[in-house]
Chain A
Amino acid sequence: MSIVLITILTLAGLGALAAVILYLASQKFKVFEDPRIDKVEEALPAANCGGCGFPGCRAFAEALVKADDISDLNCPVGGPDVMSTVAEILGKEVSKADPMVAVVRCNGTCENRPRLNDYEGATSCAVAAALYGGETGCSYGCYGLGDCVEACDFEAMYMDEETGLPVIIEDNCVACGACVDACPKDIIELRKKGPKSRRIFVSCVNQDKGAVAKKACDVACIGCGKCAKVCPFDAITIENNLAYIDYDKCRLCRKCVPVCPTNAIHEINFPPPKPKPAKEEEPANTPASSN
């Protein structure tokens, strides 16, 4: 009988002691946390992609709560919906960030850009880039080893077996920027998604002189400047033999597309070409720019 009693008492005593210690410890080490952090975190998509520039959704939530002005902060995954929910929780003004999307600025398919040697190291663009300029005559272009696809958490990219280039599935892309960081050649860029997902960009990053670039790849930008001359909005700059279209200035008039001698300027999601491609067809979102 006494054994049972002693056992019960000892265990109960130990339990009580532990409870007291735990209570004291939790009091002593208590950290005040703004309850809104939890709420904001709940509203966020929990993708933990880092696309906002913070290490995970929790850190982003803390930053949102702390910041007085959250118009600079944006969750690329959740988009405007999530951000407006967050703004409601915090009672702050939300930004109306334009949705962005990743674009691959290289069109060096096997056909356009002949392979001059065979790479046989580890299947990683980073390893190949550390070793040499790549399988082709263009030392700026895509290696096609898929570091970007590997980095994508949203199944928004795949390697096209035929072209050897990565392809972005727009609907899945949340513009988190993981692929941009993964690419050792800085080929992938986040650009404004544009009205109705229409956008124009130079699909080349080659900075070699025109003749050299053209020899390496049929569709290389040769830096001739024709596009810059024809652009009515000064959206195109030529630097290091390479044209770049500023997406903030570009009004999608598409004048530059036909003048490019190497077809290096790509237009995406425009309706099929009309006999006169220079004509502007879309008045709704695009400010009329023609003539």
Chain B
Amino acid sequence: MNQKLVVSPSPHVHSGDSVSKNMYGVIIALIPALLASLWYFGIGALIVTLTAIAACVLFEWVIQKYLMKATPSISDGSAALTGLLLAFNLPTNIPIGLIIIGAAVAIGIGKMSFGGLGNNPFNPALVGRVFLLISFPVQMTSWPVPVASRFQYLDATTGATPLSVMKEGLSSGASFSEIMSEIPSYLNLFMGNMGGSAGEVAGIALVLGGLYLLVRKIITWHIPVSVLGSIAVFTAILHFSNPDDYAGPLFHILTGGVLLGAFFMATDYVSSPMSRKGMLLYGVGIGVITVLIRVYGSYPEGVSFAILIMNAFVPLIDRYMKPKRFGEKIKAAKVQKQ
């Protein structure tokens, strides 16, 4: 034997899983939604996506190299993923300058200021998006019309999203069923044929990607199911108690960023809870806050805010929602007996 033996503590084998495998797994899962976005919004989607990814990767590299004086780790795919998710949360006619600002906020403030990957309490892409939404409300809420604006970028024909139509309609006294006849059918909503952010429209593509994540065990069912379930239950209660004034659960789930949020944004590893119980609570929190904002707030859409608000509760959830310890079952049973 020519080399020295290696000594290390057990275990001596590893699953082969890695950070980059998980990150690229999520990126792969987002490809159907990206294709759908290119189909509906054409050139605008392309420009927004490429700019956002390039800007995020660049900012991460610069900050790691020159500010943190560390070896840049952009190849792990996390910055690219943040860029892609940021792009998916922007309208496709947004000027490049704003995208770069958004990327700088997402990476610089949302992620690196806390110490980089793994340390950020909030979902970086959403930090970027919400920053833009509050700072540039006009540009952030003019939505290109799908298909028709394929070959337009800044000059795209814009229209309203189903959610804003619904919000305005309901507040002006129209009933839910009347408004439903003005907006695309449920099938069109599911296929993504509506106005909205680049990646949030195509429900079918997002569900497909979400299933891919579940099959590859990159995420577990807890967060998506609890988000979607709580939105469905909450809106169903409102709708069936007063069908005219409140939109139905299916409408709420298919519009806005609910599917994107439930499968891809809320499940972000870093900013979501660690235990299964915690994940369920977190998901329900997101669902309830989303509906509260949509129904009672002034914004038509609330998923981003809901996720950010629940992100803030994650340390608390982790502190108090411990996983079920081995042996607890018995203790509980014994106490009951006595």
A and B touch in the complex (CB under 8 A): yes
Contact status A131-B9, CB under 8 Å: yes
CA distance A118 to B6 in the complex (A): 5
Total of A-B residue pairs, C-beta within 8 Å = 26
Q: State whether the Cβ of B4 lies closer than 8 Å to any Cβ in chain A.
A: yes
Contact status B8-A117, CB under 8 Å: no
Provide the residues of chain B in CB contact with A119, threshold 8 Å.
6-8
Q: State whether the Cβ of B138 lies closer than 8 Å to any Cβ in chain A.
A: no
Q: Which of B4, B5, B6, B7 contacts A131 (CB 8 A)?
A: B7
Least CB distance from A286 to B in Å reads 46
CA distance A135 to B6 in the complex (A): 9
Q: Which of B1-28 contact A (CB under 8 A)?
A: 4-9
Contact status B4-A115, CB under 8 Å: yes
Provide the residues of chain B in CB contact with A116, threshold 8 Å.
4
CA distance A127 to B6 in the complex (A): 15
Interface string of A96-122 (1 = CB under 8 A from B): 000000000000000000011111111
Q: State whether the Cβ of A132 lies closer than 8 Å to any Cβ in chain B.
A: yes
Closest residue on chain A to residue B7 by CB atoms: A117
Closest residue on chain B to residue A116 by CB atoms: B4
Least CB distance from A259 to B in Å reads 35
Contact status B7-A118, CB under 8 Å: yes
Q: Which of A115, A117, A118, A121 contacts B9 (CB 8 A)?
A: A121
Q: Which of A117, A122, A127 contacts B5 (CB 8 A)?
A: A117
Closest residue on chain B to residue A131 by CB atoms: B9
Provide the residues of chain B in CB contact with A127, threshold 8 Å.
9
CA distance A71 to B6 in the complex (A): 52
Provide the residues of chain B in CB contact with A120, threshold 8 Å.
6-8
Provide the residues of chain A in CB contact with B7, threshold 8 Å.
117-121, 131-132, 135
Least CB distance from B299 to A in Å reads 31
CA distance A155 to B7 in the complex (A): 31
CA distance A121 to B8 in the complex (A): 5
List residues of chain A with CB under 8 Å of any chain B CB.
Answer: 115-122, 127, 131-132, 135
Closest 10 CB pairs of A and B: A120-B8, A121-B8, A121-B9, A117-B5, A118-B6, A117-B7, A131-B9, A117-B4, A118-B4, A120-B6
Instruction: Give me 4 other A-B pairs in contact (C-beta within 8 A), A116-B4, A117-B7 excluded.
Output: A117-B6, A118-B6, A118-B7, A121-B8
Can you list 16 residue pairs at the A/B interface with Cβ under 8 Å?
Answer: A115-B4, A117-B4, A117-B5, A117-B7, A118-B5, A118-B7, A119-B7, A120-B7, A121-B7, A121-B8, A121-B9, A122-B9, A131-B7, A131-B8, A131-B9, A135-B7
